[in-house]
Chains A and B, each alone.
Chain A
Amino acid sequence: MATYRVTPALYRVLLTVKHVAFRSRWCIIASRTQFSTVYDPSEKTFDKILIANRGEIACRVIKTCKKMGIKTVAVHSDVDCSAVHVKMADEAVCVGPAPTSKSYLNTDAIMEAIRKTGAQAVHPGYGFLSENKEFARRLAAEGVTFIGPDTHAIQAMGDKIESKLIAKNAKVNTIPGFDGVVKDVDEAVRIAREIGYPVMIKASAGGGGKGMRIACNDEETREGFRFSSQEAASSFGDDRLLIEKFIDNPRHIEIQVLADKHGNALWLNERECSIQRRNQKVVEEAPSTFLDPETRRAMGEQAVSLAKAVQYSSAGTVEFLVDSTRNFYFLEMNTRLQVEHPITECITGLDLVQEMIRVAKGYSLHYKQADIPINGWAIESRVYAEDPYKSFGLPSIGRLSQYQEPLGLPAVRVDSGIQEGSEISIYYDPMISKLVTYGSTRAEALQRMEEALDNYVIRGVTHNIPLLREIIVHPLFVKGDISTKFLTEVYPDGFKGHQLTDAERRELLATAACVFVAEQLRSQKFVGNLRVSTAQQVQKRWELSLKLDKGIYAVTVSRSGLTYTVELDGKRLDVTSEWNLASALLPVTINGTQRTMQCLSRDASGDMSLQYLGTVYKVQVLSKLAAELSRHMPEKVPEDTSSILRSPMPGTVVTVSVKPGDEICLFSGGSIITLRPWELPVVTSALGKHLRRKIDCLNQRFHPQQSKRCISKF
């Protein structure tokens, strides 16, 4: 019997072959494998791992487990029974009903699932139980490995006050502020004055922007203290607050660290996460345009020293605020795998999940700090089921009636846990996927991101691609001149979609006109029908009238083969395409420039929705005759909605903040009610009006896509 020795080189080849099989989701980046981390089959880790999470991160972990030959167990709530992560895993256990508190946070049920399936280790992903020390403790008690840091590290870093003290002792730069719990309002004002305004008041147990207030004077400090402690008490059950200097216009840059149980720790370079909305990241990139090698090293070394100070093992992230002069301050340490870890994997070639599993088993790291490269540039866009036109993203839900990831493009990685037909529900995070593009330079990665976003087909739910597509081409972003205030500064009146230039408008209109003509021509192509008039000549030239917003444009189209020549505004555009009207994507070449548009809808009365440069435009295309006659058509008066409060997103009403007789004023932005699960205030446009009737809808559920969306009339 012949035996084959698997050399590392041969293994690399085998791995490549394996990746090709996985190509449906994992793209090979520029002819190199995703991860240079080579799995050594002789290195025994676990036989079976349970993934205590759902969605894309569960799928992500399962993929690495499969690569390492580890059996996987998925847990799921009952509504998730046919989710992608359940299908991918070798085994699946239902751990409860839809609400996370009863399923994915239900430690009893998950412990039971571990016992039942005999899983030897648990990967918690991010969120849910990933930073829950109780859960880690229970696992340890049962002899099950928690794939993550030790309990004491989770605990130490989980508390903002404690972590800051530890960081200070580990010689990590920290934000000037008060290291301790603020007792009352007066103390808060005193401390704020000591630090110097502006100051940030935040919840000790907080995260995700909750319980955070900025104060610029004593009055605001008092108010902020009250608000934050209330919010902290209701959100985290812990009203302890701390105060620190508020750093204006900061960047949010974080360092990925990786440590083993033998005292080795590495920093895997930084991730720039400054593009945020409501303190949640939207676009991330690695490396940062802002850091010079010295700063990077200084940050990395401090991050490693912090990790060592808490005997950290596994993958973790040290978040810093960086001011305009490259002073950096420790913010917090996340003791888990971050959402945005793929960009680090792209530039370093490491498989972080694999490293986490190895470290959890007790192996030491293969690498030295000098082995960690920065290869090229990676950018990640978080694609959410959100309406970007409402406060940069209000959650939307629905069924993905059509879904196609741009995997045919080079150097694109999509981490997702959904597929066509999946339901985005109110129970879970509305993230659709993480779209990562990679290039040897930032410009290349950005260019690929543009293409990837244009080729991403998502139908059935509102999504934030319009916003993502705008961010990555914004001159300030392209220059790298960004801060955490980017969105609010660039779009002070909210995001309004892409603003077309004249040339872009012409491209859009020309394409719309061509789609109309292609459709007209096709509707005359009856197969094998002898009763179609033969006398009729195929039309060669069309005179059309297009309407976009308020503008009306006269367009002529003439056709030769697949190329349509469009005349518009005295300009001539040659538009070439396959004109496949059944395809979700519409690739066109306009005067030699390639564009990918998407035709979302078109109907017989000439209305067409085209997605162009990320934004969806409604165009009406009519023949000249129909356009002339349409001036006789009466304008339909839209329903007056100014005095109707409608739910902009699905959710349950948890607070009502106005009483009958109150004027709806700009106080707290016209907020009237608050909806769960996202705790977002609902704002009305009926400013200045008085509330006549009591809003009586507490604990009711609303859904914008269903008839029950009108919360109240006043």
Chain B
Amino acid sequence: MAALTSVRSCSRLITGFNAGYRSLIRGSGLPGASARPRLQLQPRWYAVSYFSVQERIENKRKAALVGGGQKRIEAQHKRGKLTARERVDLLLDSGTFVEYDTFVEHRCSDFGMEADQNKFPGDSVVTGQGRINGRLVYVFSQDFTVFGGSLSGAHAQKICKIMDQALLVGAPVIGLNDSGGARIQEGVESLAGYADIFLRNVKASGVVPQISLIMGPCAGGAVYSPALTDFTFMVKDTSYLFITGPDVVKSVTNEDVTQEELGGAKTHTAVSGVAHRAFENDIDALLTLREFFNFLPLSNKDSAPVIESQDPSERLVPGLDTIVPFESTKAYDMLDIVRGIVDEREFFEIMPNYAKNIVVGFARMNGRTVGIVGNQPKVASGCLDINSSVKGARFVRFCDAFNIPIITFVDVPGFLPGTAQEYGGIIRHGAKLLFAFAEATVPKITVITRKAYGGAYDVMSSKHLRGDVNYAWPSAEVAVMGAKGAVQIIFRGKENQAEAEAEYVEKFANPFPAAVRGFVDDIIQPSTTRMRICRDLEVLASKQQNNPWKKHANIPL
């Protein structure tokens, strides 16, 4: 006992030993007595310090691995959620995760937070870098078992550190969000932390891809980080995104609403358009995220990734010759065309449940990632409205920012008429899609499958907006409007409307008016579309195009 006392008195020279020693005992789970003989082996103080530091490192690391402790981990599992570290393990190639800032602890000294049992090595977030299918990615994963994943100054600092590094080397950032919000005990420091992250989100925007996967609560100011990133995915039933929770909503607007209704995965993927896709559970989400990551280049300096393809680029798709129905009012599924044309029928759709009148997503052509935009005749005849314009515009801008060629399938009868649309600002929002297509300098290939009417024809990656290759199928109709409407204007008062309509159809409801003017480069047999696009992409791989110098453009937000 005496020996131990002397060791203790010596060791007081080393700052922080006290806490470390206690945590040693706590962490190892051994009673104090059994730790004694090992310390007694080395009577000299520096030697003691050497070994104690080693052990403290080990123990801190061990402590960091269990986050908020076994009990909280079990609670997390009971909620159907994985822990921060389990998520990282599943997301990254096994054994590639390199953790940063395991030893960072929060610095709050109010409300008893300074107590040792309130300090957790690494605090409430796990950060670092690793590989997904061999490619570098920076990751942060919020740890709900530590103070509910709440964001402290230290937590924010850790996230900022990896974001800064990601920008330096040019690698994507994936955030796995599971946080109760700001750490209230830290007050303004926590808010400052959010702002620091927002700033970095904005700086990184368009430089490296940023992906948020919401795997638990994400409320208040915290929601703006995912909102600033390129893609926000959610896990069904366990994740929520809202500015203010149901209680505040009740007190302010007197609306009764559940968490799920207010900010669940269904709401955000189908109603608000905040989230881009939802997954069944943590495992489905993380594994699908790995697949998604393979579509993205690492940064804006890298070209779109090419994966070894087994699908012949010259493959004909006979089914496409009959896909467009004979009657021009009859619907068909644009996804059938997309799946038929892309490699292995694999299409990673973005926002599949929101603004379904436009289809956007990633696929590969001859192994290379391409962005697909297509009007969906199955929903609202494929017309453009506010939501579909915004959905399309954001996707096109992402592709343009990250060197992903854009393939556009056009079957659009025009913009959706009505007061709801006009009052909602369809002019402003429609302009976003027009802006995005016009601004894009990546290879742009357009296929008009059927209708390309009016202003919507111009918008949908037309030749006039620097489309590189524009094709029309034999079923294409490029015109100001459909036959009925046009005839009522051109032949107003004329007796025989049916005859006039037939004349209009003969003249305009076909690809020739556009083709004779060179507004489409060729009229192609639908079954050859894949072959043609693959060849064009090869040609366009070396495309160089620059917009005039500017600080940034002023997209009509």
Contact = CB atoms under 8 A, between A and B. Distances in A.
B290 to A, nearest CB: 7
Interface in A595-628: 603-606, 622-623, 625-626
B306 A527 contact: yes
Interface stretch (A184-192, A577-585, A652-660): A577-585
Nearest to A400: B319
> Lowest 9 CB-CB distances: which A-B pairs, in order?
A421-B319, A604-B291, A582-B311, A634-B80, A582-B310, A605-B284, A420-B319, A527-B306, A525-B308
A526 B81 contact: no
B318 A582 contact: no
A248 B403 CA distance: 73
A490 interface: no
Contacts of A632: 77, 80-82, 282
Interface in B305-322: 305-312, 317-322
A399 interface: yes
Nearest to A622: B283
B339 A536 contact: no
Interface of A: 78-79, 81-82, 399-403, 419-423, 522-529, 531-533, 536, 580-583, 603-606, 622-623, 625-626, 629-630, 632-634, 636
Interface stretch (B53-61, B128-136, B139-147): B128-136
B4 interface: no
Interface stretch (B86-94, B222-230, B409-417, B423-431): B86-94
A422 B322 contact: yes
A533 B237 contact: no
Contacts of B367: 527
A626 B134 contact: no
A605 B135 contact: no
Given A531-B298, A629-B86, A630-B283, A421 B131 contact: no
Contact of B336 (A399, A583, A629): A399
Nearest to A82: B322
Given A527-B308, A581-B310, A604 B134 contact: no
B153 interface: no
Interface string B281-296: 1111001101110100
B323 interface: yes
Given A399-B323, A533-B136, A604-B288, 9 more contacts: A82-B322, A420-B319, A604-B284, A604-B290, A625-B89, A633-B80, A634-B80, A634-B237, A636-B237
Interface in B115-135: 131, 133-135
B280 interface: yes
Nearest to A79: B326
A605 B280 CA distance: 10
B288 A603 contact: yes
Nearest to A423: B322
A139 B212 CA distance: 72
Nearest to A532: B134
B271 to A, nearest CB: 17
Contacts of A403: 319
Contact of B281 (A525, A536, A603, A634): A634
Given A78-B326, A526-B134, A634-B237, A420 B318 contact: yes
A625 B279 CA distance: 19
A406 B318 CA distance: 17
Contact of A533 (B80, B82, B131): B131
B343 A582 contact: yes
B260 interface: no
Interface in B399-456: none
Contact of A633 (B281, B290, B310): B281
A604 B336 CA distance: 21
Interface of B: 77, 80-82, 86, 89-90, 93-94, 96, 131, 133-136, 237, 279-284, 287-288, 290-292, 294, 298, 302, 305-312, 317-323, 326, 336, 339-340, 343-345, 367
Given A536-B93, A625-B94, A528 B319 contact: no
A81 B322 CA distance: 10
Contacts of B82: 629, 632
A81 B326 contact: yes
Contacts of B305: 526, 529
| Chain A at the B interface: SS class | loop
25 contacts: A78-B326, A401-B319, A421-B318, A421-B323, A522-B310, A524-B133, A526-B133, A526-B135, A526-B306, A527-B306, A527-B307, A528-B306, A536-B96, A582-B310, A582-B311, A604-B284, A605-B280, A605-B288, A625-B89, A625-B90, A625-B94, A626-B287, A629-B90, A634-B80, A634-B237
Contacts of B281: 633-634
Contacts of A524: 133-134
A523 B294 contact: yes
A630 B288 CA distance: 15
Contact of B309 (A582, A603, A630): A582
B258 to A, nearest CB: 17
A400 B320 CA distance: 11
A401 B279 CA distance: 26
Contacts of A399: 319, 323, 336
Contacts of B284: 604-605
B183 to A, nearest CB: 26
A604 B344 CA distance: 14
A626 B290 CA distance: 13
A629 B283 contact: yes
Nearest to A536: B134
Given A531-B298, A532-B134, A581 B280 contact: no
A59 to B, nearest CB: 15
Contacts of B320: 421
B310 A605 contact: no
A401 B340 contact: yes
A626 B90 contact: yes
B301 to A, nearest CB: 10
Nearest to A581: B310
B131 A536 contact: yes
A522 B291 CA distance: 12
A604 B284 CA distance: 8
A560 B343 CA distance: 27
A613 to B, nearest CB: 24
Nearest to B170: A531
Nearest to B326: A81
A623 to B, nearest CB: 8
B284 to A, nearest CB: 4
Contacts of B282: 629, 632-633
A683 B413 CA distance: 42
Contacts of A422: 322
Q: Which of A529, A581, A630 has the most CB of B within 10 A?
A: A529
